[in-house]
Chain A
């Protein structure tokens, strides 16, 4: 029986909610020692001297390494701009590890780290895009000459089109730097012994890490094992190759002890790569009917101190997706990457796409504001029609597979009374102190299901497929091994749901295992909303093949033709004769017994591995509306409604799909109103604890109203698109549009994120 679309409870939860989950820090082999970093307190300084004698003298300290001790270990990231495992001669951001200490306990390690004294010679810092691009700016990497790593100019900047256009609108947007803040900070444990290297890590792509670590140290992959046990959230920030993984391995090799590293929260805030950190100059041209004629987007991506390959890809994705769900005759894109004295920037839930939906959804609202045409109507007039898919955009990366943008908007408007709210908004504006109402829309679109051949290879992955192996056990239960590497998504549940329907094996008798390169076939990992659309499709494919083989065995038992065998009840039957049947348990058991299967079959045949490919990305989309109320006395913004219509194609499990959307929306609201890593003008981080980096909790978030349209993707047999990042793509523009709408009668056309009560109050004061 198919379980696609069923609200099945998560198989993962009983373990996690009874405290039986196992995370890296829970694992402590005998003899484990602990490593801690001595971290730079300076944004940009020359290292003059490092005094480690006192630390080394502390009882329980095994080693203190600086760059000089690991000269033979190569840098990470881009050739020529590589990041050394430990700062070498110069530190380039606050938090950058300068030395590493290993001790018997984490307490001794922390004490020892504090005893290491570093003498710095300060240099001017460039902690922002503006300061990094200014004339005479301090240069981070002398090989660059300046601070621009890469600049893709406009092919045609559409100057003529804009000059001839009846109307134009322009915005400069800052997409605020965010921290991923997974509940489990980064952690790893390396055990390098005579039989090889085992690395436990909280990571989203175990094989990618295994292959990289093996290559880094020049050791064979067969004796290099990466285990990603329970992973407490990743959000894209756990697919980066950061120094701790390599240092823990090198130290374990040297000390012949297992070496563990676990970040504290404040360390995580400055060490784990940040996301977003993008500035955008956006112009549109439109006609008297608010039909978009041309779009021009120039993106400047802050890369932090060391450009990361994923970080370098962010503006590529943003510019590819810049036109959103609109048919715009001409689109011009350009981008550049800039280094600054800040924590490096890489993927964070949505990675490049929230930045795209934000720019297009903000400027479409500005067109509505300038033209006096309702923002819903402006959107409707410009949507790509439903019959134009596949739709080729300005970017070869983005050929939209399917979508129903107008349908999603129609569905959205059934979830609340738009006209009544607008009337109430108008009434309140005429009162002296009643709360102001704002209504913000976002018709968003993103690129998911990474990906078609070649798409992930560009980010250094081995392939863009995903591996799935199904092994039917002798009792008729099944274990699925997959290279997808979930860390909260619920893949163990959804994969079992997909398999149950195809295999005819009950959901409760299907386990899903992942996160161990010694047992799972070479895989890719979980990122880019790919697990279901690629890996899930692999489960379907593998299941179909398993059933094909099982039918041969069933046919042999039932003395029938395999072509006549169908899945029936708890096993197989001859088509049309349900009583002539054999249970799965018997077929499975006999599959291992050579004397009980056809002579031309081999034992153990019910074991199928597929490397699932998909022909194209999928493009999940949706329409969101956020409503807010603004307290005119304090500037406080309260979200009063969040209406969410998603189109992720086929939904495997509505419970999990909603969970993904709600979590993503929470992060989107957080980016819009609360979060934002900031540095002062000297490059000192201003919010590296959770006291000052504001993560909204349940008490700050509204309850969500869900809606759905369903446009299956043609790219896989399931029709599933991917949903992991949708909420964080769709929510920020809806929230910001709502706040701007609430204040639009005061002439406000834009406010940068995070929009704080202080910012709103400043606007209200100015209007007085």
Chain B
């Protein structure tokens, strides 16, 4: 639990952060530190310089932009969880933020950090996928917007390139639409063994947690939802395209079973009827 030694610099703005990155070799951005620092302490990751973006206040906000809500990448899980604006228009997002770890983790961890980290076992990426969010990425070359479905590229790898920052996440409003999140784990504070996020409404979406090397959008099941198929038919196709692995907690078979059971339960929770 003792990291390799590193330097620490503080960024005050997006431009400053990008400039600091250009200036320092072998540097990494530090947001809430709740994924990066544990890995550094286990010496799985090291870096000569940490550029702290956690203090860039201009990247911490939840704003109503008419048809969508924009959340700054540095917004803490706790703020997402407690936002009344989100509770009204994006209940799934607020709820999922409240399912991350424990209060200590939620007070530090950021929405952007969780998404860029791209852990298939993390909760918030599934909400971003089910909700059809768009990611705003800023780098030396300017700003681009990437849909959630194209954001998670590989194990712990996202569309955010070296030296780029995720600055904002845009969520289309889902006011009044049903949603549910079913997380299965052994202990309340743990990552999911499997979880299922369901968003009903115009563009319904189902996303799965820990069913392969990246956060997973269940396209077949989402299409079945859009077509108004019965819950059991949605569940039947929910694991299509997944590549769950075996570990001490679960076999692939068991994970697939859980994904189906949790999908049925999530749909029942929303009151979904075909």
A residues whose Cβ falls under 8 Å from a Cβ of B: 106-107, 110-111, 114, 264-266, 633-634, 636, 674, 678, 686-687, 689, 692, 694, 696-697, 699-700, 756-758, 761-762
Q: Are B187 and A114 in contact (CB under 8 A)?
A: no
Indicate whether B43 reaches chain A with its CB closer than 8 angstroms: yes
Partner among A106, A110, A264, A636 whose Cβ is within 8 Å of the Cβ of B184: A636
Q: How far is the CB of B124 from chain A (nearest CB, A)?
A: 19
Q: Cα distance A761–B254 when bound, in Å?
A: 8
Q: Are A107 and B250 in contact (CB under 8 A)?
A: no
Q: List 29 A-B contacts (CB under 8 A).
A: A106-B2, A107-B2, A107-B5, A110-B2, A111-B5, A114-B4, A264-B2, A265-B1, A633-B261, A633-B265, A634-B184, A634-B258, A634-B261, A636-B184, A674-B186, A678-B248, A687-B248, A692-B248, A694-B186, A694-B187, A697-B187, A697-B189, A700-B186, A700-B187, A756-B186, A757-B186, A758-B249, A758-B254, A762-B254
Indicate whether B156 reaches chain A with its CB closer than 8 angstroms: no
Indicate whether B42 reaches chain A with its CB closer than 8 angstroms: yes
Q: Cα distance A76–B238 when bound, in Å?
A: 57
Q: Are B187 and A696 in contact (CB under 8 A)?
A: yes
Tally of B interface residues using CB under 8 Å: 22
Q: Are B4 and A686 in contact (CB under 8 A)?
A: no
What sequence of 0s and 1s flags, for each residue 240-274 of chain B, a beta carbon within 8 Å of any chain A beta carbon? Answer: 00000000111100100110011001000000000
**B254 neighbours in A (Cβ, 8 Å):** 758, 761-762
Residue of A nearest to B2 (CB): A110
- State whether A758 and B251 are in contact (beta carbons under 8 Å apart), knowing that A106-B2, A694-B187 are contacts in the complex: yes
9 other contacts beyond A111-B5, A699-B189, with CB at 8 A cut-off?
A114-B4, A266-B1, A633-B261, A634-B258, A687-B248, A689-B42, A697-B187, A697-B188, A699-B188
Task: Give chain B interface residues in 1-60, CB to chain A under 8 Å.
Answer: 1-2, 4-5, 42-43
Q: Cα distance A599–B262 when bound, in Å?
A: 86
Q: Are A686 and B187 in contact (CB under 8 A)?
A: no
Q: Are B189 and A758 in contact (CB under 8 A)?
A: no
Q: How far is the CB of A276 from chain B (nearest CB, A)?
A: 18
Q: How far is the CB of A3 from chain B (nearest CB, A)?
A: 38
Q: Are B248 and A686 in contact (CB under 8 A)?
A: yes
Q: How far is the CB of A183 from chain B (nearest CB, A)?
A: 14
**A692 neighbours in B (Cβ, 8 Å):** 248
Residue of B2, B188, B189 with most chain A CB atoms under a 10 A cut-off: B2
**A106 neighbours in B (Cβ, 8 Å):** 2
Q: How far is the CB of A243 from chain B (nearest CB, A)?
A: 20
Task: Give chain B interface residues in 215-247, CB to chain A under 8 Å.
Answer: none
**A686 neighbours in B (Cβ, 8 Å):** 248
**B1 neighbours in A (Cβ, 8 Å):** 264-266
**A678 neighbours in B (Cβ, 8 Å):** 248
Q: Are B184 and A111 in contact (CB under 8 A)?
A: no
Q: How far is the CB of B136 from chain A (nearest CB, A)?
A: 32
Q: Are B43 and A114 in contact (CB under 8 A)?
A: yes
Q: Cα distance A756–B5 when bound, in Å?
A: 39
Q: How far is the CB of B117 from chain A (nearest CB, A)?
A: 15
**A114 neighbours in B (Cβ, 8 Å):** 4, 43
Q: How far is the CB of B156 from chain A (nearest CB, A)?
A: 15
Partner among A264, A694, A758 whose Cβ is within 8 Å of the Cβ of B250: A758
**B249 neighbours in A (Cβ, 8 Å):** 756, 758
Q: How far is the CB of A55 from chain B (nearest CB, A)?
A: 14
Q: Cα distance A111–B184 when bound, in Å?
A: 38
**A634 neighbours in B (Cβ, 8 Å):** 184, 258, 261-262
Residue of A nearest to B188 (CB): A699
Q: Cα distance A686–B190 when bound, in Å?
A: 17
**A758 neighbours in B (Cβ, 8 Å):** 249-251, 254
Q: Cα distance A111–B254 when bound, in Å?
A: 41
Residue of B nearest to A110 (CB): B2
Q: How far is the CB of B181 from chain A (nearest CB, A)?
A: 15
Residue of A nearest to B4 (CB): A111
Q: Cα distance A544–B193 when bound, in Å?
A: 60
Q: How far is the CB of B34 from chain A (nearest CB, A)?
A: 13
9 closest residue pairs by CB, A with B: A699-B188, A110-B2, A264-B1, A633-B261, A758-B254, A700-B187, A694-B186, A758-B250, A761-B254
**A762 neighbours in B (Cβ, 8 Å):** 254
Q: How far is the CB of B5 from chain A (nearest CB, A)?
A: 6
Q: Cα distance A424–B207 when bound, in Å?
A: 37
Q: How far is the CB of B103 from chain A (nearest CB, A)?
A: 12
Task: Give chain B interface residues in 101-137, CB to chain A under 8 Å.
Answer: none
Q: How far is the CB of A666 from chain B (nearest CB, A)?
A: 13
Q: Cα distance A160–B247 when bound, in Å?
A: 46
Task: Give chain B interface residues in 170-217, CB to chain A under 8 Å.
Answer: 184, 186-190
**A694 neighbours in B (Cβ, 8 Å):** 186-187, 190
Partner among B184, B187, B251 whose Cβ is within 8 Å of the Cβ of A699: B187
**B190 neighbours in A (Cβ, 8 Å):** 694
**A689 neighbours in B (Cβ, 8 Å):** 42
**A266 neighbours in B (Cβ, 8 Å):** 1, 42
Q: How far is the CB of A442 from chain B (nearest CB, A)?
A: 23
Residue of A nearest to B262 (CB): A634
Q: How far is the CB of A571 from chain B (nearest CB, A)?
A: 52
